[in-house]
Protein backbone atom coordinates (compact mmCIF):
# COMPACT_ATOMS: atom_id res chain seq x y z
CA UNK A 1 0.00 0.00 0.00
CA UNK A 2 1.24 3.49 -0.77
CA UNK A 3 1.90 5.93 2.02
CA UNK A 4 -0.74 8.58 2.56
CA UNK A 5 1.44 11.15 0.84
CA UNK A 6 2.00 10.69 -2.86
CA UNK A 7 5.00 12.28 -4.56
CA UNK A 8 4.54 13.22 -8.23
CA UNK A 9 7.36 14.93 -10.11
CA UNK A 10 6.62 17.94 -12.28
CA UNK A 11 7.54 16.13 -15.55
CA UNK A 12 5.12 13.27 -14.75
CA UNK A 13 2.45 15.74 -13.64
CA UNK A 14 2.84 17.57 -16.95
CA UNK A 15 2.68 14.30 -18.92
CA UNK A 16 -0.63 13.39 -17.23
CA UNK A 17 -2.14 16.84 -17.86
CA UNK A 18 -0.91 16.99 -21.48
CA UNK A 19 -2.38 13.55 -22.21
CA UNK A 20 -5.72 14.51 -20.69
CA UNK A 21 -5.86 17.78 -22.63
CA UNK A 22 -5.05 15.95 -25.88
CA UNK A 23 -7.99 13.58 -25.40
CA UNK A 24 -10.59 16.33 -25.04
CA UNK A 25 -13.55 16.39 -25.28
CA UNK A 26 -13.31 12.83 -23.88
CA UNK A 27 -11.82 11.68 -20.61
CA UNK A 28 -8.14 10.86 -20.77
CA UNK A 29 -6.80 8.00 -18.71
CA UNK A 30 -3.76 5.92 -17.87
CA UNK A 31 -1.98 4.02 -15.16
CA UNK A 32 0.58 5.02 -12.56
CA UNK A 33 3.53 3.05 -11.21
CA UNK A 34 5.14 3.59 -7.84
CA UNK A 35 8.15 2.33 -5.96
CA UNK A 36 6.02 1.33 -2.96
CA UNK A 37 7.23 4.28 -0.87
CA UNK A 38 4.72 6.83 -2.10
CA UNK A 39 6.75 7.94 -5.13
CA UNK A 40 5.17 7.86 -8.57
CA UNK A 41 8.03 6.67 -10.76
CA UNK A 42 6.27 6.46 -14.11
CA UNK A 43 2.93 7.02 -15.79
CA UNK A 44 1.42 5.10 -18.67
CA UNK A 45 -1.00 7.22 -20.73
CA UNK A 46 -3.47 4.90 -22.44
CA UNK A 47 -6.39 4.96 -24.78
CA UNK A 48 -9.94 5.14 -23.47
CA UNK A 49 -12.16 2.34 -24.77
CA UNK A 50 -15.25 4.34 -23.74
CA UNK A 51 -14.34 7.36 -25.92
CA UNK A 52 -16.61 9.34 -23.60
CA UNK A 53 -16.53 12.67 -21.76
CA UNK A 54 -18.05 10.97 -18.69
CA UNK A 55 -16.32 7.60 -18.41
CA UNK A 56 -13.15 5.67 -19.08
CA UNK A 57 -11.91 2.14 -19.55
CA UNK A 58 -8.20 1.40 -19.92
CA UNK A 59 -7.72 -1.07 -22.81
CA UNK A 60 -6.75 -4.47 -21.35
CA UNK A 61 -3.73 -4.91 -23.64
CA UNK A 62 -2.36 -1.50 -22.57
CA UNK A 63 -2.99 -2.36 -18.91
CA UNK A 64 -1.07 -5.60 -19.35
CA UNK A 65 1.81 -3.87 -21.16
CA UNK A 66 2.09 -1.29 -18.35
CA UNK A 67 1.99 -4.04 -15.72
CA UNK A 68 4.75 -5.98 -17.51
CA UNK A 69 6.93 -2.88 -17.86
CA UNK A 70 6.47 -1.77 -14.25
CA UNK A 71 7.17 -5.22 -12.81
CA UNK A 72 10.28 -5.60 -14.99
CA UNK A 73 11.65 -2.50 -13.24
CA UNK A 74 10.70 -3.59 -9.73
CA UNK A 75 7.76 -1.20 -9.52
CA UNK A 76 4.08 -1.82 -8.98
CA UNK A 77 1.04 -0.48 -10.75
CA UNK A 78 -0.43 1.48 -7.90
CA UNK A 79 -3.27 3.39 -9.47
CA UNK A 80 -5.00 5.03 -12.34
CA UNK A 81 -5.46 8.58 -13.56
CA UNK A 82 -8.33 10.04 -15.53
CA UNK A 83 -9.71 13.44 -16.34
CA UNK A 84 -13.01 15.16 -15.78
CA UNK A 85 -13.31 17.46 -18.81
CA UNK A 86 -16.25 19.40 -17.36
CA UNK A 87 -16.08 18.55 -13.66
CA UNK A 88 -13.91 18.93 -10.59
CA UNK A 89 -10.83 16.86 -9.76
CA UNK A 90 -12.87 14.66 -7.43
CA UNK A 91 -14.18 11.12 -8.00
CA UNK A 92 -17.68 11.02 -9.43
CA UNK A 93 -20.32 8.60 -8.20
CA UNK A 94 -19.51 6.41 -11.21
CA UNK A 95 -15.80 6.49 -10.32
CA UNK A 96 -16.62 5.44 -6.77
CA UNK A 97 -18.94 2.64 -7.88
CA UNK A 98 -16.36 1.26 -10.32
CA UNK A 99 -13.36 1.46 -7.97
CA UNK A 100 -12.38 -2.16 -7.43
CA UNK A 101 -8.98 -2.04 -5.75
CA UNK A 102 -8.86 -0.44 -2.28
CA UNK A 103 -5.05 -0.32 -2.47
CA UNK A 104 -5.01 1.82 -5.61
CA UNK A 105 -4.67 5.57 -5.78
CA UNK A 106 -7.05 7.37 -8.12
CA UNK A 107 -5.67 10.57 -9.62
CA UNK A 108 -8.42 12.78 -10.99
CA UNK A 109 -7.53 15.64 -13.32
CA UNK A 110 -9.81 18.65 -13.51
CA UNK A 111 -9.38 20.23 -16.93
CA UNK A 112 -11.76 23.20 -16.78
CA UNK A 113 -9.76 26.35 -16.15
CA UNK A 114 -6.25 25.77 -14.82
CA UNK A 115 -5.68 21.98 -14.79
CA UNK A 116 -5.38 20.45 -11.33
CA UNK A 117 -4.63 16.91 -10.17
CA UNK A 118 -5.91 15.53 -6.88
CA UNK A 119 -5.26 12.07 -5.40
CA UNK A 120 -7.85 9.83 -3.80
CA UNK A 121 -8.20 6.47 -2.14
CA UNK A 122 -11.60 4.81 -2.55
CA UNK A 123 -12.58 2.18 0.02
CA UNK A 124 -16.02 0.57 -0.25
CA UNK A 125 -17.63 3.70 -1.68
CA UNK A 126 -15.86 5.99 0.81
CA UNK A 127 -13.41 8.49 -0.62
CA UNK A 128 -10.41 9.97 1.15
CA UNK A 129 -8.11 12.58 -0.33
CA UNK A 130 -4.40 11.76 -0.30
CA UNK A 131 -1.79 14.48 -0.03
CA UNK A 132 -0.14 15.05 -3.41
CA UNK A 133 3.24 16.78 -3.46
DSSP 2-49: --SEEB--HHHHHHHHHHHHHTTTSPPEEEEEE-SSSBEEEEEEE--T
Q: Could you give the strand order of the β-sheet that contains 40-46, starting from the edge strand earlier in sequence?
A: 5-6, 126-132, 116-123, 105-110, 76-84, 29-34, 40-46
- With 0-12 / 13-18 / 19 or more C-beta atoms within 10 angstroms meaning exposed / middle / buried, residue 65 is middle
Please write the tens of the pLDDT for every residue from 59-85.
Answer: 999 999 999 999 999 999 999 999 999
Query: What distance in Å separates the CA atoms of residue 111 and residue 10, rounded to the nearest whole number?
Result: 17
Total domain count for the chain? Answer: 1
Residue-range definition of the domain harbouring residue 84: 5-132
Please write the tens of the pLDDT for every residue from 114-127.
Answer: 999 999 999 887 89
Question: How much is the pTM?
Answer: 0.93
CATH of the domain at 117: 3.40.140.10
- Cα-based distances in Å from 66 to 70, 94, 101: 6, 24, 17
Amino acid sequence: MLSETLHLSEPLRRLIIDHCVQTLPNEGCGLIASDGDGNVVDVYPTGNLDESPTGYTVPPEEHFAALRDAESKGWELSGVFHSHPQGPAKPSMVDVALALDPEWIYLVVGIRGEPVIRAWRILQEEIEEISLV
